[in-house]
Structure 1
Amino acid sequence: MKRMFVAPDPGLFRLRNATRAVLGIGLAVTVTALAGLPLTACLTGGLAALLALFTVTDPTVRGQAVTTALLPAAGLPVLALATAVQSQPPARDAAFLAVAFAGAWARRWGPRGNALGIYAFMTYFVVQFLRAGPDRLPVLAAAVLLALAAAALTRFVLWPLDRSCPPPAPPAERDVPGLRRVSLRLAWQTTAACAFALGTGQAVSADRWYWAVGAAWWIFVGTASRGETLVRGFRRVTGTVLGIGAGLPVALPVDGAPLPTALLAAACVFGVFYTAPLSYSWMMFFVTVLVGLLYGLVGLLDPGLFALRLAETAAGALGAALAVALVLPVTTHAATVDWIHRVLEGVRECAAQAGRRAAGDTAADPARAAAGLEPLLARARAALAPLLHPLNPLRARRARARRIMALLDECAVRVRALAGELAAAPAGPAGDARVAAACVRVEAAVEALLASAEPPPPAAAGPAPHPVLAQLHALEEALARLAGPLHAPPRAPLTAAHG
């Protein structure tokens, strides 16, 4: 936990984003309360604001504004549907699975589709939580609209954080047809997992079965392979267990008292936003404590509720595990190789931009290419997470994955340093020619790695090389060391020859 809160936070973005979330959600709840709406509507508004601030990740402020404006179009029809079928269990369950499929499939449209899909699914989910019928539709719709307006006001007017420090955009898929295929596969897997969770969850509890469906659906958000999904399910259960351990001594004594509940809920919201980019387990820890506080607020909290939440979460995780194993499975190896290659392509792009800059092209931007490498590196790390996990019994694969990740990190460090050196201390004419040649060698090394060939040996550094050349030489060496572990058979032991 200590490392979580001292992890690097460039520009204090996570700190500011989490603080803004607390303010935005607090404003949304306050506005809905001042409008005279009941407590359950205020809670619905708070969730709507949380989702608007959490899921909208378009790379531009304009894109974020458009996606935020579209949230009611995704949420209100689902709200009407969910309340209309609430008293008809067969129709309710079928509609829930249909919304789960559509919400997962919407990821084919990138960050905007992902945000709208999550919002639609969670709108249906909250109706199950409230057991709301058609008579409550006007109140809930009003709460959603007021809360989204408050969230938008906070994000774009009161604290326009994204204008000065935008979060890295999620990397796009390689091509639209590929994205369609991936999204459709994930949608079928997600729906199968939710169907299993729905049946198992209802067997465990006729009242809180929707927790299992929610757990199964969320486990698939941001995953692409069997291993990633299994690790995410494990982390969700782990975070839930930790949250129950903290929620019992925190939420039970508070027992819904308004002021301490509000303060502790604000702390949990901060924790969700602050830890989400770093740890799914710790994010779920704060979500679990928050759920306990909210149940106390509506007078439904008891110790058995925490145990029930754990059982339902386990049912959802089991559904996800079965789905990725049986429904159109994609191996961890295939997913990791793809993302490793995309990181290497990012390194090649940075070298190409640096070479153009050295050749006199002032429009070339190595710094931008280096920044674009960061989300690719994060996605590769997520893809490798199942192999890096301490519980992975395949020791040889774990050692190779650790070595590959370390070398990719080193490449990213060299790329960032290269961009910084070029910006701070451009070389003279003679140095430019050497830089251009070195950039060509880096590009050739990446091409060899992508073609599963041995990259050319790094050029000699020479005495006291220029700082830019020193970074390029170090990058060449890292790429050369990457060939061994990257091209070795998946189960081959790591040797000195593998770097």
Structure 2
Amino acid sequence: MLKRVFVAPDPGRLRLRFAARAVVGIGAAVVLCALAGLSLPGTVTGGLAALLALFTVTDATVRGQAVTTALLPAVGLPVLAAAAELHAYPVARDLVFLAVVGAGVYARRFGPRGHSLGVFAFMTFFMAQFLHATAGQLPELYVAVVLSVLTAAAVRFGLWCYEAQLPPAPAPAPPPGTGLARVTTRQAVQATAGAGFALLVGHLVSGQRWYWAVGATWWVFVNTTSRGETLVRGFRRVLGTVIGIGLGVLIAVPVDGAALPTAVLLAACVFGIFYSAAVSYTWMMLCVTLLAELLYGLLGVLTPGLLVLRLAETAVGALGAALAVLLVLPVTTHTTTDAWIQRALRCVHTCTAEAAARLAGVPDADPAPKVAELEQLLGRVRLSVAPLVHPLNPMLGRKRRARRVLDLLDDCAREIRGLVTVAADPEASHDARLAAACWRVEAAVEALTGDGRRQPAALVGEPPVAEPALTHLHGLERALAELAAPLRTPSGSRLVGA
């Protein structure tokens, strides 16, 4: 698990910059809230608002990110008001909370912006429960949210806008559909049902900390599509929480809210959350759990019993999510896996065509954005295939085929990156054999994404070592040809989760 976080590829050190900027932005927001004379709960609210503003906004362009960030308070403040005003009316509060859950998940159908606003709305309601906010605290909490979002925006779009130097990476849309055939609609129903279960059982476990169970259910659904993905994410959430609680006993409890060590540890947790998010959900949850424990230490309520309670509520939330995806409008792993793999393969062809056009001297050809899109699509494939390659999966044949698919898709991505690097060289020139090689790549992709009756064309001889572009194309052809076997069962139907 350590190797997965610290040895995982980090092209352009994007994860490192993402995490370092988060520490700067959140730290600045907390300092400004304190200098503005806000109370400890107000300052905590500001820090969490800045964290969400920096973490959840993922639009493809800097301008889109700025618009979404500006919209966060417009969504969050009314939700915060509802949570605080309903604090004394538990039944109404709980019903509104479930409505926020359903609406927040349904908003994902509108792409990255809908996802970001849905997460911010949910977490604003959650923060109100975390701090036991009342109507009398609203003015201070409003100031904290607005001030912190502005501070995070100043850091993200002014002080440290590294995205301005990157090509825009269009976020892949979820598989299409209408009504209950649309994945986001099904997930909205599932999340609401799971959160309802978590809310009821969470209340039985603790009348004070029941919202932890609802939060666990919510975050299990974030960035998942199929029932397999959701089950694996629930397992990893519980595992990360268990490890985080163990660290809390060793670190957070002895620190007991002492200002300086707590501040240092909080900064380390923020860095860990942002640095590990893209590669390990378990590590991210470990950092989130430790961060929550440190905040409770600051608020003076951290005890070993509270840590045990957090574990119990997290287990309830994960169980609610599991029951929901298994029993309520289930979305199979095969459905989503097959769709993401096909989209990734088509993107492989698009990248190849753009790189070949660049080598041919076409002035508008730019493969870089497509390569960024391919990386995102491969991330979605890995997430979708995760249930099949999980150590607890007893179906060894499917596990082997799924691992082989991932390995070959990684080979495709590596050859594409190499080809794009060659195409970016101003000294590189077009070779007449590139057109034929690109045609074979197109034919191989069509064979893999078609009706299953065609097979990828046979490989040609090895290209000369002195032709790097052809070398990468030949490697790409080989990987695509070898994908035919694991992507199909002996009967010819598409594989991986069937």
Answer whether TM exceeds 0.5 for this pair.
Answer: yes
Which residue in the other structure is 1:75 paired with? Answer: 76
8 Å contact 1:367–1:420 — kept in the other structure? no
Q: Distance in 2 between matches of 1:246 and 1:485?
A: 41
Which residue in the other structure is 1:276 paired with? Answer: 277
Deviation of residue 172 (structure 1)?
Answer: 2.1
Q: Distance in 2 between matches of 1:205 and 1:135?
A: 25
8 Å contact 2:167–2:368 — kept in the other structure? no
8 Å contact 2:176–2:182 — kept in the other structure? no
Deviation of residue 142 (structure 1)?
Answer: 1.2
In structure 2, the gaps of 5 or more residues are: none
Q: For 1:125-140, what aligned pairs fall within 5 Å after superposition?
A: 125-140=126-141
8 Å contact 1:397–1:491 — kept in the other structure? no
Question: Which stretch has the larger CA shift, 86-95 or 6-15?
Answer: 6-15
Q: For 1:144-293, what aligned pairs fall within 5 Å after superposition?
A: 144-165=145-166, 168-173=169-174, 181-293=182-294
Q: Distance in 1 between matches of 2:369 and 2:149?
A: 33
Q: Distance in 1 between matches of 2:150 and 2:361?
A: 48
Deviation of residue 358 (structure 1)?
Answer: 4.9
Count, aligned residues = 491
Secondary structure (helix, strand or coil) at the match of 2:411 reads helix
Deviation of residue 425 (structure 1)?
Answer: 6.6
8 Å contact 1:86–1:132 — kept in the other structure? yes
Which residue in the other structure is 2:445 paired with? Answer: 446
Deviations 1:271-317 (A, max 9, x none): 11111111000000011111111111111010011110000000000
Question: Which stretch has the larger CA shift, 133-142 or 223-232?
Answer: 133-142
Deviations 1:58-113 (A, max 9, x none): 11111111111100111011011111111111101100000001111111111111
Deviation of residue 462 (structure 1)?
Answer: 5.1
Question: Which stretch has the larger CA shift, 366-375 or 89-98?
Answer: 366-375
Q: Distance in 2 between matches of 1:319 and 1:167?
A: 37
Which residue in the other structure is 1:356 paired with? Answer: 357
8 Å contact 2:422–2:428 — kept in the other structure? no
Q: Distance in 1 between matches of 2:11 and 2:281?
A: 20
Secondary structure (helix, strand or coil) at the match of 1:311 reads helix
8 Å contact 1:204–1:312 — kept in the other structure? yes
Which residue in the other structure is 2:17 paired with? Answer: 16
- 1:435 counterpart = 2:431: no
Deviations 1:398-446 (A, max 9, x none): 00000111111111111111112222276656x2x21011101110110
Q: CA distance change for structure 1 residues 289 and 428 in 2, over 3 Å: closer, same or farther?
A: closer
Which residue in the other structure is 2:315 paired with? Answer: 314
8 Å contact 1:239–1:284 — kept in the other structure? yes
Question: Which stretch has the larger CA shift, 180-189 or 354-363?
Answer: 354-363
Q: Distance in 1 between matches of 2:377 and 2:490?
A: 24
Q: Distance in 2 between matches of 1:414 and 1:187?
A: 39
Superposition RMSD on alpha carbons, in Å? 2.1
Q: Distance in 2 between matches of 1:450 and 1:200?
A: 45
Q: Distance in 2 between matches of 1:284 and 1:391?
A: 20
Q: CA distance change for structure 1 residues 264 and 246 in 2, over 3 Å: closer, same or farther?
A: same
Which residue in the other structure is 1:100 paired with? Answer: 101
Secondary structure (helix, strand or coil) at the match of 1:403 reads helix
Q: Distance in 1 between matches of 2:6 and 2:437?
A: 39
Q: Distance in 2 between matches of 1:313 and 1:195?
A: 14
Question: Which stretch has the larger CA shift, 176-185 or 305-314?
Answer: 176-185
Q: Scaled by the length of structure 1, what TM-score is found?
A: 0.94
Secondary structure (helix, strand or coil) at the match of 1:184 reads helix
Matched AA of 1:246: L
8 Å contact 1:354–1:436 — kept in the other structure? no
Which residue in the other structure is 1:393 paired with? Answer: 394
Which residue in the other structure is 1:335 paired with? Answer: 336
Q: For 1:46-125, what aligned pairs fall within 5 Å after superposition?
A: 46-125=47-126
Matched AA of 2:437: A
Q: Distance in 2 between matches of 1:425 and 1:415?
A: 18
Q: Distance in 1 between matches of 2:339 and 2:352?
A: 20
8 Å contact 1:168–1:374 — kept in the other structure? no
Deviation of residue 360 (structure 1)?
Answer: 4.3
Q: CA distance change for structure 1 residues 81 and 480 in 2, over 3 Å: closer, same or farther?
A: same
Q: Distance in 2 between matches of 1:424 and 1:287?
A: 43
Which residue in the other structure is 1:497 paired with? Answer: none
Deviation of residue 33 (structure 1)?
Answer: 1.3
Q: CA distance change for structure 1 residues 28 and 358 in 2, over 3 Å: closer, same or farther?
A: closer
Q: Distance in 1 between matches of 2:149 and 2:415?
A: 42
Moved over 6 A (4+): none
Secondary structure (helix, strand or coil) at the match of 2:391 reads coil
In structure 1, the gaps of 5 or more residues are: 495-499
Which residue in the other structure is 2:458 paired with? Answer: 457
